[in-house]
Amino acid sequence: MGEGEEECGHGPSYGPWVWSAYRAYNELLREKIKKRFEAQEGPWMDQLAGELVKLVDARWEGGRKGDKVESEILERIEKLLED
């Protein structure tokens, strides 16, 4: 039998190599998609992330002042999500 052939005679077995190729292809595609999203949506996501951090901080501080700040932040988040 030749190298890479199965004993049952069904031809070469490249299972692990094919799996590795598919995985590499999917990883590359994932990275390309991430780059596109970063270029297109990055600035918007940065703004949203900043508002979410402010929201967590406001909730952490709590109190009436925190409630007012929290509602203002939520309004800004809603506006970002509508855009």
Structure tokens at 31: 């990275």
pTM of the entire predicted model? 0.58
* Burial class (CB within 10 angstroms; exposed 0-12, middle 13-18, buried 19+) of 32: exposed
Neighbours of 59 (CB within 10 A): 13
- 9 inside domain: no
- 31 inside domain: yes
- 2 inside domain: no
Answer with the residue of higher pLDDT: 26 or 16: 26
- 62 inside domain: yes
List pLDDT tens digits, range 29-59: 999 999 999 999 999 999 999 999 999 988 8
- 68 inside domain: yes
- 6 inside domain: no
Mean pLDDT of 14-24: 91
What is the H or E stretch that residue 64 is in?
helix 63-82
Range(s) of the domain holding residue 48: 15-82
What is the H or E stretch that residue 26 is in?
helix 15-61
Looking at the structure of the chain, the number of domains it has is: 1
- 74 inside domain: yes
